[in-house]
Amino acid sequence: MKLIVSFLFLFAVHGVQANELKEGYGTFSVPHEDCAERCNEFRLYSNNEFIFSGSIQEQKFISLSGLQDAEYAIQFVGNDSKVNSSTHFSVKHYPLFESLTFFVLGFLLFCLLIISIRSNRG
């Protein structure tokens, strides 16, 4: 079983770069130490085009989801409306074939689990 889990893990992380999201969502840490007092806003840009902004209070992390394939930048803004920190990343979703492969493998593992539970019941 460990071999299967290890194989799936290696298959999942193969080819993923450090600043590349494969799922269309991500969690980012808020760099409060870079802001004069505290960061109070973030702004999301895609290909230098403003997408949306959000308020940050005491959060240490923000989560973004629903992102399409593109290059993105998050700017963290302090009370002085000055951009204090910026993070760049890209989103490149898994190909449909790879997603369906994971789905089928998960279904097969689930079926094996059900079969083994039923056979052990007697």
Per-residue pLDDT tens, the chain, 122 aa: give them: 443 433 333 334 434 345 888 887 888 888 877 665 677 889 999 988 999 998 887 788 888 888 889 999 998 888 777 777 788 889 988 888 988 999 999 999 999 999 999 998 86
The residue among 90, 99, 102 whose CA lies nearest residue 17 is: 90
As its CATH architecture, domain 18-91 has Sandwich (2.60)
Tokens at residue 2, please? 């460990």
pLDDT of residue 118: 93
pLDDT of residue 106: 97
What are the two backbone dihedrals, phi and then psi, of residue 110, each rounded to the nearest 5 degrees?
-65, -45
Q: How far apart are CA 65 and CA 80, in angstroms?
A: 28
What pTM was estimated for this model as a whole?
0.63
Residue spans per domain, the chain: 18-91
Q: How many C-beta neighbours within 10 Å does residue 97 have?
A: 7
